[in-house]
Amino acid sequence: MFEAIMTERQRKLRAEVQDFVKSVPRQLILDMDADRVKYPRDFVTEAGRRNLLGLRFPAEYGGRGLGWEDEIIAIEEVGVLGTALACAYVMPSIVGEALSVFGNMQQKERWLAPIVKGQKVAAEALTEPRGGSDFFGTTALARREGDHYILQGQKRFIVGAAECDFFLVYARTDPNGLPHKSISAFIVERGPGVEAEYLYGLLGTRGGGTGRLVLRDVAVPAENLIGTENGAAEIFYRMMVPERMTSAAGAIGMGRAALQIATRYSDQRKAFGEKLRRFEAVSFKIADSITALDAARGLVHATARCIDAGDNPNRSRRLVSEAKKFATETAWQVINNSMQILGGIGYTNIYPIERLLRDTRLIMIWTGTNEIMALIIQHEYYDEVLASKRELRDVEHDAPEAARTEEKVYE
Ligand SMILES: Cc1cc2nc3c(=O)[nH]c(=O)nc-3n(C[C@H](O)[C@H](O)[C@H](O)COP(=O)(O)OP(=O)(O)OC[C@H]3O[C@@H](n4cnc5c(N)ncnc54)[C@H](O)[C@@H]3O)c2cc1C
């Protein structure tokens, strides 16, 4: 983090999280990576016990009423543990957003408070086998029958599926309606018809419980509907803020972890009788990596400030997407550079860089692929520029022949 601009409260929070991160058993990370542990429930319980989950939510539901500016500091620290643990850590922040903003008081007491306290585990189920990018093409169905909804469909790649106590599921409640006005969000607890299995031989991010969810005519009480029927578009857009901000902040922690290893290594390891850091090819990689990491951190931090300040949703959407895309791609480059600096040993499991590299590959895919981020960024930016009046200096005129409009041909 940028030391000089951190508040005292943020420094204390960071120290608390660092203490927690230090307490995480190394064996847990190894067991998760080896798929010996299917889900790190003790880790989540401990984070909750320390009051470190869902920091943004009100104290009455177990949070600390902090802002994004604070939460990204905590997430960066947890990020050094890798994607699976960081994801388990941020899930209450993601699912909690839907409950906190759109849930009623009973729903908050029943589901928000327990996940923020680490007593229950939630999972979010958006992605379907037919595709994740096209969220509004959701095919899972929910039909109302009396005081219940009957849900059927499949979701895949659901983190925590193997172990969670409940799922936040998006399903279509109006099969003939417009895509943006026909999906609803439900809390689905484990019970008859809810089948979830630990699945997939993942490249990295193992041990996070990622699995498939099959819903076979599951009767879900109507009071488990979050927000309004057919109104989940708003919930989805809102949830994408924590979804992507947490990926962005965690990425910085992962890049930082690898870069520190490479920096120390290049100060000790010698080649041709010189420390590696004496070769420009090595030290400039360190320079480029730390510069990129600081730039990513700066963007994530500025985005957090803008969200906390209540920026308009469209600009926030662009900034959040930029932060997610840039931070995750930066982490990938930094970890790749770090591996290169270590040479052959970096490619082995003597150092954790290979695990971080495997983990980081995922974060450019999940929580909205980076192509989808680019789609959002350009869309919002075109809208912003084309809607703005040319009231500021029109720089287009600052050319000698600017007035020759006959040369400004567009078709
Ligand atoms: C380990 C893991 C954990 C996950 N955890 C969860 C979870 O907890 N909950 C959850 O709901 N999902 C989760 N996901 C799903 C993840 O978010 C999706 O995989 C992701 O959104 C992409 O969806 P897809 O895999 O169906 O790819 P597709 O949507 O099929 O996309 C395939 C490719 O096409 C590109 N593409 C698609 N549409 C466009 C477009 N319009 N313009 C440009 N390019 C496009 C994509 O960028 C991508 O490169 C997880 C995935 C993995 C692998």
Report pLDDT for 374: 98
The partner residues of 131 in beta bridges, in order of sequence, read 128
Side-chain-side CA neighbours of residue 325 (13 Å)? 16
Task: Give me the residue label for tokens 């429930």.
Answer: 41
Nearest CA to ligand 1 atom 6: 158
Confidence of residue 1 (pLDDT cuts 50, 70, 90): low
pLDDT, average across residues 62-85: 98
pLDDT, average across residues 42-66: 98
**Is the pLDDT assigned to residue 18 strictly greater than 70?**
yes
What ligand 1 atom has the least distance to the C-alpha of 155?
Answer: 11
Q: How far is the CA of 214 from the centre of ligand 1 (A)?
A: 18
Task: Give me the residue label for tokens 């802002």.
Answer: 67
10 Å CB burial of residue 2 (0-12, 13-18, 19+) is exposed
CB under 6 Å to ligand 1: residues?
124-127, 131-133, 157-159, 202, 205, 210, 362, 365-369, 371-372, 375
- Distances from the Cα of 180 to the Cαs of 35, 161, 267, in angstroms? 38, 26, 55
Per-residue pLDDT reduced to its tens digit, 150-161: 999 999 999 999
Per-residue pLDDT reduced to its tens digit, 264-316: 999 999 999 999 999 999 999 999 999 999 999 999 999 999 999 999 999 99
DSSP 191-247: -TTEEEEE----SS-TTS--EEEEEEEEEEEGGGEESSTT-HHHHHHHHHHHHHHHH
Nearest CA to ligand 1 atom 31: 133
Residue 265: CB atoms within 10 A of its CB come to: 20
The H or E element that residue 38 is part of is none
Report pLDDT for 392: 85
Question: By three-state DSSP, how is residue 169 classified?
Answer: strand
Q: How far is the CA of 286 from the centre of ligand 1 (A)?
A: 32
CA distance 300 to 291: 14
Pairing assessment for the beta strands 225-226 and 183-189 based on DSSP bridges: antiparallel
The H or E element that residue 55 is part of is none
**Is the pLDDT assigned to residue 198 strictly greater than 90?**
no
Q: How far is the CA of 131 from the centre of ligand 1 (A)?
A: 7
**Is the pLDDT assigned to residue 339 strictly greater than 90?**
yes
pLDDT, average across residues 207-227: 97
What ligand 1 atom has the least distance to the C-alpha of 368?
Answer: 21
What ligand 1 atom has the least distance to the C-alpha of 365?
Answer: 20
Side-chain-side CA neighbours of residue 244 (13 Å)? 31
Ligand 1 pocket test, candidate residues 87, 133, 168, most atoms within 8 A of CB: 133
Report pLDDT for 74: 98
Per-residue pLDDT reduced to its tens digit, 342-389: 999 999 999 999 999 999 999 999 999 999 999 999 999 999 999 987
Query: H-type helices in 309-352, by residue range?
Result: 313-342
Q: How far is the CA of 309 from the centre of ligand 1 (A)?
A: 30
**Is the pLDDT assigned to residue 247 strictly greater than 90?**
yes
pLDDT, average across residues 4-9: 95
Catalytic sites, residue numbers? 243
Q: How far is the CA of 395 from the centre of ligand 1 (A)?
A: 40
pLDDT, average across residues 239-246: 98
Per-residue pLDDT reduced to its tens digit, 145-194: 999 999 999 999 999 998 999 999 999 999 999 999 999 999 999 999 99
Report pLDDT for 153: 98
Say what the pTM is: 0.97
**Is the pLDDT assigned to residue 107 strictly greater than 80?**
yes
29 contacts: CB under 8 Å, gap ≥ 6: 81, 82, 85, 352, 355
Helix, strand, coil share (%) of the chain residues, nearest 5: 55, 15, 30
